[in-house]
Amino acid sequence: MLIVMKAGATEAQIDDVLSVIEQLGYKAHPMPGATRTAIGITGNQATIDPSHFETLPGVAEAIRVSKPYKLITLDLRPDKTVVRVGDATIGGDELAIIAGPCAVESRAQAFAVAESVRRSGARFFRGGAFKPRTSPYAFQGLGEEGLRILAEIRDVYGLKIVTEALDENGVDLVERYGDVIQIGARSMQNFSLLRRAGKARLPVLLKRGLSATLDEWLLAAEYVMSEGNYQVILCERGIRTFAQHTRNTMDLAAVPAVRRISHLPVIVDPSHGTGKNFMVTPLARAGVAVGADGLIIEVHDQPEHALSDGAQALTVEQYEELVREVRAIHEVITPAPVS
């Protein structure tokens, strides 16, 4: 059920609706918008009788939701969500650029890349301290030591830190050292992790699973939001297909597909989306052209020596050129403000 308040509804009327929802034993999710507040209801197994709400003062409509998602949808929030990380945003007017190595390998490596990321004007630094590797024998990341290096980069360069949590304990650690919790493709349906991230005080960057449909991906976001964390960024990172010319097939159509259904920002990851250095810049351009709110890009100071994902890492020079190109595209496709 979705309660749409009248445009002029008062705070007290909204609070009344919230308390009725809670008295019924459900969870209320108020979403203030530019013109009106809507309130999503979760926690109900059976359908809710709209007559509980229809006659309450300030209520415009009580709408039964027939779709599987309740909180990610434009029905609840017609305005786009702008995720705020300090003074940086994802989903607003600015093209968000998140860049850095696949994994934090050493202080020297992370700082060398951060220097370039800062110079490019990007606001976010990525780097895994806990790596979800296919093989248990591959480099697993520096763990908490890696997080300490990331926290230092934040202090020195003022970049916001995006880093992956592999499990619930990882969320505690990212909350301590980072700014955005990345949930990787392999964890997209780790429901206990999603619920824990939903209780976190940091935004969540939710990658699409390797074989996830759009609905499965959006429902994973719904898990996070249903716990009360509405700061979710979706990330298309390529899915597995029969194609052999790429590591994954980057599904650019996912961007307009998400837009049609959800208010959440959506970014693209052409690094994992292609797996190949020479394809990253072309697909980054394409991602911005189809309307992504941002990009996440892997960069390494010495890609040939990278401990993970070296084949898709850009050199710092390639990365800086990419940023110039995608900024130009973003400027062209962004409608000028109405004056």
Nearer to ligand PEP, 134 or 339 (CB): 134
Name the phi and psi angles at 121, rounded to 5: 90, 0
Determine if 272 is a binding residue for ligand PEP (CB under 6 A).
yes
Determine if 300 is a binding residue for ligand PEP (CB under 6 A).
no
CA distance 1 to 227: 17
Determine if 185 is a binding residue for Mn ion (CB under 5 A).
no
Determine if 297 is a binding residue for Mn ion (CB under 5 A).
no
The pair of structure tokens assigned to 308 is: 């993970």
Determine if 314 is a binding residue for ligand PEP (CB under 6 A).
no
Partner interacting with residue 132 (select from ligand PEP, Mn ion, none; CB below 5-8 Å by kind): ligand PEP
Which 74-133 residues touch Mn ion, going by CB under 5 A?
A: 102
Angle at 185 between CA 179 and CA 191, to 5 degrees: 80
| CB 242 to Mn ion: min, Å | 22
| CB 226 to ligand PEP: min, Å | 22
| CB 185 to ligand PEP: min, Å | 4
Sequence-separated contacts (24+) of 45-52 with Cβ below 8 Å: 47/1, 48/1, 48/24, 50/1, 52/20, 52/24
The pair of structure tokens assigned to 2 is: 């979705």
Window 243-282: contact mask with Mn ion (x via CB under 5 A): ----------------------------------------
Determine if 309 is a binding residue for Mn ion (CB under 5 A).
yes
Which 49-108 residues touch ligand PEP, going by CB under 6 A?
A: 102
The pair of structure tokens assigned to 261 is: 């259904």
Nearer to ligand PEP, 207 or 263 (CB): 207
Nearer to Mn ion, 102 or 286 (CB): 102
Nearer to ligand PEP, 72 or 235 (CB): 235
> Which stretch in 57-65, 180-188, 258-266, 328-336 sits in contact with ligand PEP by CB under 6 A?
180-188
Determine if 196 is a binding residue for ligand PEP (CB under 6 A).
no
Partner interacting with residue 237 (select from ligand PEP, Mn ion, none; CB below 5-8 Å by kind): ligand PEP
- Judge contact between 295 and 288, C-beta under 8 A: yes
CA distance 49 to 4: 15
Determine if 184 is a binding residue for ligand PEP (CB under 6 A).
yes
| CB 44 to ligand PEP: min, Å | 33
Nearer to ligand PEP, 40 or 203 (CB): 203
Q: Which of 29, 160, 207, 300 binds ligand PEP (CB under 6 A)?
A: 207
Q: Which of 237, 263, 300, 330 binds ligand PEP (CB under 6 A)?
A: 237
CA distance 30 to 244: 46
Residues engaged in binding ligand PEP (CB under 6 A): 102, 128, 132, 184-186, 207, 237, 272
Residues engaged in binding Mn ion (CB under 5 A): 102, 309
